Chain A
Amino acid sequence: MLYPLVLIALAAAPFALVARFAGRDRIAWGLALIPLAIFGLTLAQAGSVWEGGQVVERIAWVPALGLDLSFTLDGLSLLFALIITGIGTLIVGYAGHYLATDNGLGRFLAYMMLFMGAMLGLVLAGNVLTMFVFWELTSVTSYLLIGYKHDYADARRGALHSLLVTAGGGLALLVGLLLLGQAAGSYELSDILAAGDVLRAHALYPAAVVLILLGCFTKSAQIPFHFWLPGAMQAPTPASAFLHSATMVKAGVYLMARLSPALGGTALWDVTLAVVGGATMTFAAIVAMRQFDLKAMLAYTTISMLGALTMQIGLGGKYGAEGVATNILAHALYKSALFMLAGVIDHECGTRDLRRLGGLRAYMPRTMVITALALLSFGGIPVMFGFVAKELMLEAALETELGAMLSTLAVAAIAVTAGAYLITGWRLFSNTFLGQRSVAAMQQHITDPTPGMLIGPGVPAVLSLIIPLAFLGPISSLIGPASAAIYGKPLEVKLALWHGVNTALLVSLGAIAAGAVLARFGEQLANLRGWPAWMRGDMIFDRLIERTLTGATTLTRTIQEGRLRRYILLTALALLVFVGVPFVGFGISSIRFDLDPQLQFYEILAAALIPVGVIATINARTRLGAIIAVSVVGAMVALLFVLFSAPDLSLTQLLIEVLSTVFLLLVFSVLPVRFENFSAAWVRRRDAIIATAMGFLMGGLVLATATNDAFAPLAPFFLENSLEKGKGANVVNVILVDFRGFDTLGEITVLFIALLGIYGLLRLRQGKDNVAPERVTTTEPAAEPVDTKR
């Protein structure tokens, strides 16, 4: 019952296109029934998971490559699947309102459903290659969603960045997974997870870990790959809410969590994750404080939380596992709500710039309440779900086995981050809802949106409050198996709002206090100048792209520079290397000189006239002289043929020589009568050296091969059978028309085709552009429109 879930979501994509033709919001809520149904179906299977079991399925795809579509539902997959479909339901419905006036809604929803299917497949995959398949699909659908408003250069840029970074990481991941599979002897997750000890001792382990982490870090926007995520905010807000906060970016976290029982437990894995995660968390939290764009602010806090999750996986232990699972859920709830709310504000006010907003409490009271709930959870204020999650994070930092130093650092980082969250949350809230109504917002009549639009953010925001108050028990049974999967061992989880007064609580309270104090100075902090360009990842990446382009252009100009003789030169040099080097190395010893005492004078003469003719051709000053010299060479070749027992060849050669000369004379009549020296002296010298080398090589090859009697030739067979079986006394002709008549058939076809080609060449002359006349664009392109509302 697993793969149908994925299939349903994927199959819904074409269906979504219908939205183009019908009432927007209703269609969207109708479509939302599909994720809702998947949610229900998944939940229906939760029972067996909660009893400690797994649901496993497998469809053969490419068995020879170990690439099967295998699916497993365990605690961790279940948690993710429920988040994806649950939040997905709300967001699909929300999108109908958000994009109600957009003609592309159908396309948008189709991408969303595709993405949902891919994401479901990713978390349900029971085989790392299957997982990778869906991993890449999420990158691609994300690209399409970020670039949804592709008329704007920023949207294209953001989409390109996100795809290049995540797909580049994906490649590293693929190689890493292949190494992992190689080491474990299987690509099945269950086998890999069971082979933890073997893997950690394997020689490929470090390489595999580094590559896999590259994949995860890029996907989950860890430093220094974080920059694509703010760029991805070019996507329409429902997509941001779904992909870039609740689901896709967590794929990296998911994979790290998934593999940590097998790969974790080493300094390489644990410390890398803890340090990179911690750094990302703190850095992004501080950057978030300074943003003015609502979505950018949320994007940075998302990066921060992704760092926090990564860090907790690295910190490990029981609390690490519990913390990861709990934080994933808590974050998904409040962050998707916040994104949707940002969309609501944007939608209603026409801007999401904090400097232009303000005083909305009077006009959008419902929105304000929901925002407040979500922000409380985000800030980790007690009784909210975010608080429970943050406590676990602190426990993980305190209880980690990575040593006192890292533990202390982690605690400090969490405290700073928590404080920064408070500031961010406060800034967001106060600048939007409190104070005076700003000039920008005054120009239009502003109210709460339709209730339908508030369902999306409302449900998760309210859940953030209700869960810790009323449903900690049921949620524990969801978090428990998930934590167990991360921990790698069975785990009893009992979430609680109140753990008593312990270190975690104290730190937590300290952070709240510190944050409250800091909030007073928030504005000053926010006014700090932005990061210099060389420190901004997206700028660096732009420059990297630029450098790649210019580098590639320079390289290509150098290599493919246009002149035929340069190409010929390189080709000749390549031949000298490909053949000359092995010849000098291995073949030259095979040369034998057969000095024939009976050599006749005219034989020597004929052979000697060939080099003479060649040199005469080279040195010819006139066209006619060159043609004559070449003809002499041809005649001498014919003479050699007749001297050495080849009358047929000789005749043919002579006739062809005559005809070629006629053709040469005909065609060359348009070309200049006299030649000059075409090249500088040194060029001629260089070419002469290459030509000499070529001559020696070919002559040497002939000597080495022709004097070698390793094997008897086929020839006697033809001599023996020509008359009797071929009915002819001229063996050459019998070979041509019978023994190897098939060659001759091809040969006359060559002649015939050459004629067709020449006919076309001489009789068909078309203008410069064969396709259609060049269209002239005289006007400069208009500047691209600036997007004000996204």
Chain B
Amino acid sequence: MIILLAIAIGALFGGATYLVLRRSVVKLILGLILLSHGVNLLIFTMGDGVRRGAPPLIDASGQPPAGVADPLVQALILTAIVISFGFTAFVLALAYRSNQAAGSDDLDDLSTTDRL
């Protein structure tokens, strides 16, 4: 399973890298979104093994089922998802506003603050 996830993670990171190198602000944002997916999946695979059908819920017996999935990474990812949601929303608003201020969605037009 891990190899499967590793391929997906590699694809996400690779695709994200490609997208953030584009000149379009839209693609930049999409790249950032893919990047956060990639990291979330990466953390997911870092758990105590990747398990099928064993969510970290304690049943009536009061004991966790055998071979249960790692709950810690899940909690971490949940935190990470929510944080990256906040960031995505912020970047969206920022992209919208800078697009408005610069009158262009070409990122190469946004280079006045470095002009010497």
CB within 8 Å of B: which residues of A?
553, 556-557, 560-565, 568-569, 572, 593-596, 599-600, 603-604, 607, 610-611, 614-615, 617-618, 623, 626-627, 630, 633-634, 637, 640-641, 643-649, 652-653, 656, 659-660, 663-664, 667-668, 670-672, 675, 678-679, 687-688, 690-692, 694-700, 702-703, 705-707, 713-716, 718-720, 722-724, 729-732, 735-736, 739-740, 743-744, 747-748, 750-751, 753-755, 757-758, 761-762, 765
Contact = CB atoms under 8 A, between A and B. Distances in A.
A565 B22 contact: yes
Contacts of B92: 663-664, 667
Contacts, number: 304
B114 A715 contact: no
A764 to B, nearest CB: 10
Interface in B47-61: 47-48, 50-59
A740 B95 CA distance: 33
Contacts of A729: 57-59
Nearest to A646: B74
A656 B86 CA distance: 10
B97 A594 contact: no
Given A614-B15, A695-B10, A730-B57, 20 more contacts: A562-B111, A564-B107, A594-B1, A596-B2, A607-B7, A610-B37, A630-B34, A644-B52, A645-B69, A646-B44, A667-B95, A671-B26, A678-B106, A695-B11, A706-B46, A715-B71, A718-B72, A729-B57, A750-B83, A761-B97
B6 A736 contact: no
Interface in B68-88: 68-79, 81-83, 85-88
Contacts of A553: 116
B95 A715 contact: no
Contacts of A743: 75-76, 79
Contact of B15 (A615, A644, A664): A615
B5 A607 contact: yes
Contacts of A690: 17-18, 21
Interface residues of B, number: 94
B56 A645 contact: yes
Overall SS of chain B's interface: helix
A603 to B, nearest CB: 7
Nearest to A754: B86
26 contacts: A569-B21, A604-B4, A610-B11, A617-B15, A634-B37, A644-B52, A645-B53, A645-B55, A646-B77, A652-B81, A663-B88, A667-B95, A670-B99, A695-B10, A702-B46, A713-B47, A719-B64, A724-B62, A729-B58, A735-B71, A743-B79, A754-B86, A754-B89, A754-B90, A757-B90, A762-B93
Q: Which of A627, A630, A722, A762 has the most CB of B within 10 A?
A: A630
Nearest to B70: A715
- Is the contact region of chain A dominated by helix, strand, or loop, or is it mixed? helix
Nearest to A644: B50
Contact of B51 (A645, A660, A664, A740): A645
Contacts of B70: 713, 715
Contact of A644 (B18, B38, B69, B94): B69
B116 A556 contact: yes
Nearest to A623: B26
A572 B21 contact: yes
Interface in B19-34: 19-30, 33-34
Contacts of A703: 2-3, 6
Contact of B46 (A556, A647, A668, A705): A705
Nearest to A679: B23
Nearest to A753: B86
A672 B34 CA distance: 21
Nearest to A717: B72
A618 B27 CA distance: 8
Nearest to A596: B1
Contacts of B13: 694-695, 697-699
A723 B59 CA distance: 10
A630 B100 CA distance: 24
Contact of B3 (A595, A748, A754): A595
Contacts of A700: 6, 10
B94 to A, nearest CB: 6
Given A644-B44, A679-B22, A557 B116 contact: yes
Given A633-B12, A637-B37, A668-B26, A649 B78 contact: yes
Contacts of A739: 75
A751 B86 contact: yes
Contacts of A610: 8, 11-12, 37
Contact of A645 (B4, B17, B68): B68
Contacts of A732: 56, 71, 74-75, 78
